[in-house]
Amino acid sequence: MTYQTKRGLRGFLAAGAMAVAATMPLKAKAEEIYNLALLSDFSGPYADIMPILAGGREAVFTWWNETRGQDLGVTLNYKNYETRYDAAQVASLWPGIKSELDPIAVVGLGGPDVAALSERLPEDKIPMFMATAAYGFAWQPDAWIFNPRPTYSHESAGFLNWMREQRGGDEPFKVAILASEASPAYVDMAKGLELYAEEHPKEIDLVEVIYTEVQPTDLTGQMRRVVRAGAEALIIQTNTSIVVAAKRGLQANGANIPIMMSSHNGLPASGAALGGLEQLEGDFEAYGMAIAADEDTPARQFYETLVTEYGLEAPWNVVTAMGVSQGLYTVTVIQHAIEANGAEGLTGEKVREALFAQTITTEETHGFLPSLTFTPEAPFPLEGLKVNVGTVKNGKITIEATGVDIPEVKKW
């Protein structure tokens, strides 16, 4: 075959390939690019869990872009902003974030983000999606900041009702709360449960609310009061250092009152701070989200997919679950908005409308969250609320109960 013949053959093949390609049905390509602003704390009080949480939510965005986004013709870009968990820092960063990214949604972290942006976001018409449970002080209608979980007080009330059922009997369940005035969010967690206990004296007997520092010097005396009052459970939704100090205080008193923790200070984090999960044998974590236990659940399977196919490096624990949950309900709402309005011209306002328009099913969040129906009345779903309960058995985290009903908690 001569050089000319080879060239001619190549040209013929290339032309043929182009012709075949032209006749094939066009696969949708990602054409629209939208931005998400991720508020993160890599150097403040939650710096220890942030890389894991961030890993979870970022892996979901990658997964969504490569699966759903490609078909819809949308790519979601994201950028992390360091807030140091400081409301002042968030407030000062926000104008820059807005002008740099023009985001269609903000992916928030905690109380300072809510405090700093609750007045700004309605003006800027950009919704913010949180990972955590909600706060009583942010329980307002027409919200622009949303939580997939009800307030911490809802979650603890659900847990306590479940504990009372497990115990049996008609007597109210005796409980103490350990909180801190270091953060308005910590106080809020206690206030909501206090009100619930006041209104349900036949169910809950709140023996004491103890306020302490975020790194307590010694809680032996306080725990002695709790023991003497006959508390059957201790609610600690603040941080791991308080869990550790309370545990030591209980141990000093020779008592073993079960502690209920939340997601951000849950069993793995508090166990690590105590020197081993076995020290929390019989204690609980409870929240309206999948429990990251060894059991094979849809949530666990989706996590494995993220690890094997989308480069997620975070371990299977509650913090990763929090990040993945947050990412999943955020992309689901955006997907609903795209399906309703088309890929072009998506705005924060349309994303928020989609949140109210359609239920986010538990299947869409791969079992990480219960089905979520948002209404303009509150920043979190008000009906069908559920809490899951995890515990430590034989040194391992196991699922103790799923889909526990959360009672109605009045606004405080």
Q: Where on the chain is the footprint of other proteins (CB under 8 A)? A: 42-43, 45, 47-48, 50, 180-181, 194, 208-215, 217-218, 220-222, 224-225, 239-241, 244-245, 248, 251-253, 269, 272-276
Distance CA 78, CA 129 (A): 14
CA quadruple 332, 333, 336, 342: dihedral sign: negative
Q: How far is the CB of 410 from other proteins (least distance, A)?
A: 18
Q: How far is the CB of 272 from other proteins (least distance, A)?
A: 7
Residue number with CB closer to other proteins (132 or 239): 239
Give Rg (Cα) of the chain: 24
Residue number with CB closer to other proteins (62 or 212): 212
Q: How far is the CB of 201 from other proteins (least distance, A)?
A: 17
Q: How far is the CB of 214 from other proteins (least distance, A)?
A: 5
Residue number with CB closer to other proteins (98 or 248): 248
Q: How far is the CB of 14 from other proteins (least distance, A)?
A: 55
Distance CA 171, CA 205 (A): 9
Q: How far is the CB of 358 from other proteins (least distance, A)?
A: 38
Q: How far is the CB of 194 from other proteins (least distance, A)?
A: 8
Please give the C-alpha separations between residue 116 and each of 90, 91, 105, 112, 184, in angstroms, as whole numbers. 6, 5, 16, 6, 13
Q: How far is the CB of 270 from other proteins (least distance, A)?
A: 8
- Cβ proximity of 380 and 134 under 8 Å: yes
Residue number with CB closer to other proteins (43 or 301): 43
Residue number with CB closer to other proteins (174 or 300): 174
Could you report how far apart the first and last alpha carbons of the chain are, in Å?
87
Residue number with CB closer to other proteins (47 or 399): 47
Region for 104 from its dihedrals, namely left if φ exceeds 0, alpha if ψ lies in -120 to 50, beta otherwise: alpha
Q: Tokens standing for 234?
A: 């201790």
Q: How far is the CB of 253 from other proteins (least distance, A)?
A: 7
Residue number with CB closer to other proteins (206 or 286): 206
Closest Cα to residue 333, out of 106, 115, 154, 124? 106
The residue assigned the tokens 């619930």 is: 196
Residue number with CB closer to other proteins (240 or 332): 240
Residue number with CB closer to other proteins (148 or 268): 268
Rounded-to-10 torsion of CA 179, 182, 183, 189: 10
CA angle 62, 403, 412 (to 5 degrees): 90
